[in-house]
Amino acid sequence: MLRRVVRNLPQVFERFSSALRLSVFRIGYPSFQCGKGVILKRGARLRMVPGAKLAIGDRVVIDRFATVDSEGELSIGADSYIGQGTIIVAAERITIGQDALIAAYSTIRDQDHGISSAKLYRDQQKTTKPIFIGDNVWFGTNVVVLKGVTVGAGAVVGAGAVVRADVPARFLAVGVPAKARPLADSE
């Protein structure tokens, strides 16, 4: 019995630490919505600017050193997993459905900068376009999703893919840039 208690102490501490950090975040940001059983692992970072919205569904896990940044509207559906070191930045709107599995070091951004030669890049206007990621998707490690993309329900995006065009539901997308094909039931 004592061994079991000692063995479970790290998980208990992680849940307590996560609940405490989320409570502090709720107090500081009235537009933050958070479901039950959400876990922020060590080093995971949430950020919001004034006026932004961030909604996290029940039982979402945001793994170590992941960054979830809302400058507009960002929602993550219930039972989703955001992998270690993943970066999600919503300047306008990013919607992630339920049961999404987003592996480590992926990047999802709904904006980029202009590339005119008349100005320094850092001084150029951002362009934004919403991203929608459906329910029950699976992203491999190091996936990059660019602005304006829709990834349909049940889709799989292979490791290292750069998604710059829509991926239909139940399709597999791989490559740079990602090319999609129907997902066979045996895969």
Active site residues: 113
Q: Are 32 and 26 in contact (CB under 8 A)?
A: yes
Helix (H, G, I), strand (E, B) or coil at 74: strand
CA atoms of 179 and 172, how far apart (whole Å):
8
Token pair 């829509």 is at which residue? 166
From residue 16, alpha-carbon distances to 40, 59, 76 in Å are 10, 14, 21
Q: Are 157 and 142 in contact (CB under 8 A)?
A: no
CA atoms within 13 A on the CB side of 157: 36
CA atoms of 20 and 6, how far apart (whole Å):
21
Q: Is the dihedral of CA 172, 137, 85, 69 positive or negative?
A: positive
From residue 26, alpha-carbon distances to 47, 134, 136, 185 in Å are 12, 26, 27, 42
Token pair belonging to 9: 């102490």
